[in-house]
Amino acid sequence: MATHYRRILDYLGLARGPGGLEQATRLEPRHDPVPPRVPGGSEIGEDAMSRRWALPGLAPAARAELADARTMEQRERYARNIENFIGTVKVPVGLAGPLRVNGVHAHGDFYVPLATSEAALVASYSRGAQLVTEAGGCAALVLNEGVSRAPGFAFDTLAQAATFVAWAAGCMEPFRAVAAQTTRHGQLVDMQLTVEGNHVYLGLEFQTGDASGQNMATIATEAICRYIVEHTPIAARAWYVEANMSGDKKATTHSFMSVRGKKLCAEVVLAPELIERRLHTTTNALVDYSRMSAFGGVMSGSIGVQGHYANGLAALFIACGQDAASVAEAAVGVTRFEPRPDGALYVAVTLPNLIVGTVGGGTALPSQQACLEILGLAGSGHALAFAEVAAALSLAGELSIVGALAAGQFTAAHQRLARGGSGPSAAS
């Protein structure tokens, strides 16, 4: 985390020598009168919104954009998803596709809504989707699912921690029963125990139905922890509902040892003539680039090796009401390019942490529900299908970006689509 000595003063905004001390005073605490708090909390009525918009420094023109007539008409639909509500932000939505998915749960041709402000992104994913479709579609398969929480318990000694573990290891059934009292849709399915000195971490894994399930798992875990406090033979000095071992919203090596959300693979086989016609390159060129890219990822310390899962997943998550912060872990995975003796190319993606759902969270918000309806995957019974579409989309994105880089068209595409310049498009 070091900064080079020639540049650090520029970043800190300090002059060399004694004069820098005067500028450093800007970093000291200020005790001027504190501005008013944002009023109203979860209130979403016009009066509460007006009081928020009356806060000092909020541009009046911004209200017209954020609190437009449509937003005000639908504001009650946002009540359970936001605090200190002042309006909505519009993000452009484009369609990528058609994307042919040959999955166990998603089996059909999909036009995928992607919400993004990054030019060239939708064009790239759409190109990859069309390539997959012309190849006959991609296979997509859910391999595992579960949402974890990792409460932590602190004791005075290792002996106390061991005593606690010996008791907790026999409590799976009562823990399961306690969790069941908090939800009709989720259940505790597994538990692992980790001892670190006088600390114990419980790895609790839940099935959460069609919901992405983070809140469901948290509420169930809280209930289990309170049961533990009441029944444990050895009291913990302190406990925490999440002790940062579950991998929640972080890229971790935990991704490849377990699952958070849904683990999936998707694959496609591309004929050499299709690669040349649509990606303007060859099987060997794609394999050569993917090999160098993989080593680059390893040497840079990447967790997993892939091109840009986060691009498509973030756009899909925003469009379809998923928790956008979960992209931090959902975008962990591996992409593999493998040549076949006949000149064809096998490509596979594996995503072990796809946190998605089709009920709960933001999936019932007006625009987000509309995007799920475009996919035909709104509501109960569609979470596994949505996950397979997300994996297929990630595969399409990998094909397009690797094709653009291998063919030398990556920069030209961004110049044309993102900056209005000229040049051939990698999305053509």
Find out whether 213 and 357 touch, Cβ atoms under 8 Å.
yes
Q: Which three-class secondary structure state does DSSP give residue 264? A: strand
Active site residue 22: no
Determine whether 134 is an active site residue.
no
CA distances from 285 to 74, 129, 132, 273 (A): 51, 20, 18, 14
* Cα torsion through 417, 422, 425, 428, rounded to 10: 100
* Cβ neighbours, 10 Å, residue 221: 25
Cα separation of 316 and 326, whole Å? 12
Closest CA to 358 of 106, 118, 169, 172: 106
Strands 304-305 and 199-207: unpaired
Q: Is 414 annotated in the active site?
A: yes
pLDDT of residue 41: 87
Which of these is catalytic: 185, 199, 249, 280?
249
* C-alpha closest to that of 412 among 115, 98, 124, 97: 124
What pLDDT score was predicted for residue 47? 93
User: What distances in angstroms separate CA 358 from CA 85, 210, 295, 318, 401, one per listed residue?
Assistant: 24, 6, 36, 13, 28
For residue 89, the model assigns a pLDDT of 96
Pairing state between β 261-270 and 304-305:
unpaired
Give the span between the Cα atoms of 97 and 137, in whole angstroms. 11
Strands 304-305 and 333-339: parallel
The neighbouring-strand residues paired with 102 are: 107, 139
pLDDT recorded at residue 54? 95
Residues in Cβ contact with 204 at an 8 Å cutoff, skipping those fewer than 6 apart: 148, 149, 150, 151, 175, 188, 190, 191, 217, 220, 221, 224
**140 in helix, strand or coil?**
strand
**Domains within the chain, CATH numbers bracketed:** 119-145+257-418 (3.90.770.10), 151-240 (3.30.70.420)
Tell me if residue 323 is catalytic.
yes
Catalytic position from the list 145, 210, 267, 323: 323
Number of residues written out for the chain: 428
Instruction: Take residue 427 and report the two structure tokens written for it.
Output: 């999305």
CB atoms within 10 A of CB 12: 13
Which tens digits make up the pLDDT trace of 315-345?
999 999 999 999 999 999 999 999 999 999 9
Residues of the chain scoring pLDDT < 50: 421-428
User: In this predicted structure, what is the pLDDT of residue 420?
Assistant: 58
How far CA 272 is from CA of 127, 139, 340, 342, 343, in Å, comes to 17, 19, 10, 9, 6
Q: What's residue 75's pLDDT? A: 94
Please tell me the predicted confidence (pLDDT) of residue 425: 47
Q: What is the pLDDT of residue 19?
A: 58
CB atoms within 10 A of CB 13: 11
Supply the pLDDT for residue 24. Answer: 75
Phi and psi at residue 331, in whole multiples of 5°?
A: -85, 10
Active-site residue, selected from the candidate residues 118, 222, 276, 288: 118
Q: Which two tokens stand for residue 412?
A: 């030209």
145 forms bridges with which residues in the sheet? 262
